[in-house]
Structure 1
Amino acid sequence: MAKSSNSALVILAFFAIYVIWGSTYLLNKIAVLELEPFMLASFRFTLAGLCIFLLAKIMGTSLRITKKQLLNTLIAGVLFLSIGNGLVVWALRYVDTGFAALEISSQPLIILLLMRILQGKKIQPMSVVGVVLGIIGIYLLVSQKQIIAQEESIVGMIMIFFCMFCWAYASLFVAKADLPTNYFVNTGYQMLFAGIVLSLMSLGFGEEWISPLAWSGEVQLAMVLLIFLGSIVAFTSFNYLLKAVSPEKVATSTYVNPIVALLLGWYFLDEQITLQSIIAAAILLTGVYFINTKKTLAIFERFKR
């Protein structure tokens, strides 16, 4: 019975990182067109973190963690969310949701290169093919005339690349770091710390803070979905799956998120899907597939132990 229950939990967790995370690009885009980006992200993660702590208390889950775990959740929260997500929200002001999702799908390539640079891990032959295809796919994606012609789009694209490096480094850090064993508590601390840092970033950049009561109904709904589904459900699912299943299975979200984001952006925001974007997506995701082979991602298993 327990095995069946665990299987159901894994399936639900995969649905969360596949579909819910894929939809957060659309939700963030809707909100950031009306709200300041760092204020938006701060509001989302601070409330999500507080809600998680409240739920943990109701369920009788202890929030006690060691000083080392406190520091590690702070580092992970800042890298994953304050920078890794906050700057993506900012970039969505200037790039389409599908473009952002496709660019971020090359993250396994960044992780592989960081593992080579920082830990000296050998890149497997299949992964070399993946890297080459990934570079070709990224080039085709970012070299489109409508992107090059818009200076702001280029800035957004560069910021997304920086976010990917932060997220990739955080993934390597989390794999070996001493973190709270309870996934819910772990997520809560990361969210809360990220929200606090984002609020400081927002104040530092002089952003205008607007009362939620003054937001449009569309933005209010987007924020509710971002907090409860995109933050609490999906990020907790992500932390759970990092420990519950093999890394190559978690990495399959890389293929699904961009497709979900592309379709939702096209349907709800009338974003254009060009032939070059489709070709770039096919080549890029094929490259990611080669990178995410069992031989390559067996390296991640050693980090988990």
Structure 2
Amino acid sequence: MTLSTHQLKLLAAFFALYVIWGSTYFAIRVGVEYWPPFMMAGVRFTVAGALMYAWLRWRGDANPTWQEWRGGAILGVLMPAIGNGFVTLAEKDVSSGVAALVVATVPLFATLFARFFGHVPRKMEVAGILLGIVGMVVLNMGANLQASPAGAAALLFASAGWAFGSAWSKHLVQPKGLMSSAVMMLSGGVALLLGSTAVGEQLVATPPLAGWLAVAYLAFFGSMVAYTAYLFLLKSVSAAAATSYAYVNPVIAVLLGVWLLGEHVGVHEMGAMGIIVLAVVLIGWRPKPRAGG
């Protein structure tokens, strides 16, 4: 069977979310060893957004209208700035694997926020939300989050911001095509740099090669490639399917953290991973309709 161009794009987009975003938690954990968190996230998104915007304008794409800039900027603040900025902040104290586990609750938040836009959750979605809350309770019983209540709060705030942006994105006027990614990343990056200045972050020393490579990987693969894939999926498939990366990202992040960073994952974290992933599966579960008689 030959796949259509659209199907190939969908496969590539899902690969980007599942694998690349799963590995970004590792890259962030490496980067925050050498960069202040908001500054690093701000540099990542400002560079990625500016490069993509410049390339799109060079190839002849129209400049977004004021209304499109406004919609993209709102999503930029909610998703890259809050959604990613506070994950970066939390990874100063929380392991990359546990950060990915908390962010796996995004589909739970997205389902709740979708009510603001007229979506009534199905029974299976309600069950998934309740099970996800149980998973969060189990996760908080582990030593990793107990050692950093501020990190846990930052991760929940990040998840809520990202989920609200995802739910709102279908109802906001945005730039067309890839320009949507460029505006969102550029707006989010500027917001993060302003936030970095506001809280008094300073770069005390020039980062070594590992610090620069982490930012470069996050800017190109984690931002330009994966964000574009995510926005494409939000417009092409259901919100539940688009956020299904939450099934896979925690597993990849935990494995990379244990393998390359020597992070410890306890019984509570492993149990919570199973519960949260099952909860996300329930939210996205849609039984096939029975054939008519």
- TM-score class, shorter-chain normalisation, is over 0.9
Which amino acid in structure 1 is aligned with residue 181 of structure 2? T
1:135 aligned residue (121, 133, 137): 133
Q: Which 10-residue stretch deviates more, 3-12 or 23-32?
A: 3-12
Give per-residue Cα distances to partners, 1:19-43, cap 9 Å, x unaligned.
1111111101101121101110111
Question: In 2, Cα distance between the equivalents of 1:210 and 1:43?
Answer: 16
Give the gaps of 5 or more residues in structure 2: 288-293
Q: How many residues align?
A: 286
1:226 aligned residue (189, 197, 218): 218
Task: Confirm or deny: 8 A CA contact 1:53 1:63 kept in the other structure.
Answer: no
Pair 188,210 (structure 1): closer, same or farther in 2 beyond 3 Å: farther
Shift of 1:172: 1.6
Q: Quote the residue 1:248 is aligned against.
A: 240
Give the gaps of 5 or more residues in structure 1: 296-305
Structure 1 SS opposite 2:121: coil
Task: Confirm or deny: 8 A CA contact 2:98 2:144 kept in the other structure.
Answer: no
Q: Quote the residue 1:298 is aligned against.
A: none
TM-score by length of 1: 0.89
1:170 aligned residue (165, 170, 181): 165
Task: Confirm or deny: 8 A CA contact 1:130 1:289 kept in the other structure.
Answer: yes
Q: Quote the residue 2:120 is aligned against.
A: 122
- Within a 5 Å distance, the mapping from 1:1-305 to structure 2 comes to 4-58=4-58, 60-116=59-115, 118-119=116-117, 121-148=119-146, 150=147, 153-182=148-177, 184-209=178-203, 214-294=206-286
Question: In 1, Cα distance between the equivalents of 2:53 and 2:139?
Answer: 41
Question: In 2, Cα distance between the equivalents of 1:72 and 1:4?
Answer: 31
Give per-residue Cα distances to partners, 1:77-111, cap 9 Å, x unaligned.
01101111111101110101111101111111112
Task: Confirm or deny: 8 A CA contact 2:95 2:144 kept in the other structure.
Answer: no
Q: Percent identity?
A: 33
Shift of 1:294: 3.0
Pair 242,121 (structure 1): closer, same or farther in 2 beyond 3 Å: closer
TM-score by length of 2: 0.92
Question: In 1, Cα distance between the equivalents of 2:236 and 2:112?
Answer: 25
Flag the structure with higher helix content: 1
Which amino acid in structure 2 is aligned with residue 114 of structure 1? F
Which amino acid in structure 2 is aligned with residue 194 of structure 1? G
Shift of 1:121: 4.0
Shift of 1:166: 1.1
Give per-residue Cα distances to partners, 1:254-292, cap 9 Å, x unaligned.
101111111111111101121221111111111111112
Shift of 1:120: 5.9
For the aligned residues, what is the CA RMSD? Answer: 1.8
